[in-house]
Structure 1
């Protein structure tokens, strides 16, 4: 039976806005092909509360040592102010286990640097805030695979699962890649969602309403 749990990594100073669209719409049954198919669980390094960059206090559902790739459909890693000092390295190492187990990992902004630091971006197409951002912050060796796009999905390959990466200024594009990977919406519904949120075209709203009423 497919696993339908989405795990969101949470840590102090995490950039809550980077996953705002993702969390809101995974948890909103309207428009979805199969309403309420997925549930979101938050994962902290411990069970202690964390405080986001936006000042929100989150009590993790489980700690990192309780997380098992086989019990997950996807691990989502937002950025955080602590990335440069190794603050989310433990989560990057867990991401490596997920990819080895062919479970999808999605990383945005600083989280991509944490993945690059341990070599997870060395041989797969990926993106981030900028190529120079990865080169400055890590022992990054994947420059030839860097794609100058807002967000990109790579894999799976013969040795690794699917990896989604995104720039920190592209939370909408990040959400779109995740929605596609999860098969959350029908084609017309996702096109309307993109028109509204990514293209900022108000007609997308009416198209979404029409899809919902159909």
Structure 2
């Protein structure tokens, strides 16, 4: 990535980034490591993290099972919400913690 423009990808969109080499030198995740491993042009196996969502600079990636974590990381990278709001967001929508609604 040659600019300061954030790039975010979830599920199959990570394959597109893998094919053009964006994931070859940045920490990232996807559905499973083998999914990206089969993409031509992908050489970033050592940067793959088995996590719900991964943010590395302006790059955010997630697998299909992690839309809330993907949204949280994307909002963080874009600077659209404070850490306390994002923590409450995950508490409500991942953990079902209704007490966190007050922070939202």
If the length of structure 1 is used for normalisation, what is the TM-score? 0.46
Question: Which one has the largest radius of gyration?
Answer: 1
Contact 2:36–2:42 (CA under 8 A) maintained in structure 1: yes
Give the 4+ runs in structure 1 shifted more than 4 A: none
Q: Give the 3 Å change call, closer, same or farther, for CA 186–119 of structure 1 in structure 2.
A: closer
- Deviation string 1:93-142 (CA, Å, 9 cap, x unpaired) is xxxxxx21221100111111111011111111111111001112434211
Residue 202 of structure 1 and its aligned partner are, at CA, apart by 1.5
Q: Which has the higher strand share?
A: 1
Gaps of 5+ in 2: none
How many residues are aligned here?
104
CA offsets per residue over residues 125-160 of structure 1, 9 Å max, x none?
1111110011124342110110000111112xxxxx
TM (norm. structure 2) is 0.90
Between Structure 1 and Structure 2, which shows a larger proportion of helix residues?
2
Distance 1:146 1:120 in 2: 12
- The one of 12, 35, 57 equivalent to 1:110 is 12
Q: Which residue of 2 aligns with 1:125?
A: 27
Q: Secondary structure at the match of 1:128?
A: coil
Pair 1:169 & 2:65 matched: yes
Which residue of 2 is the match for residue 134 of structure 1? 36
Structure 1: segments with no counterpart, 5+ residues: 1-98, 156-161, 209-214
Matched, 1:203 2:81: no
Over aligned residues, Cα RMSD in angstroms? 1.4
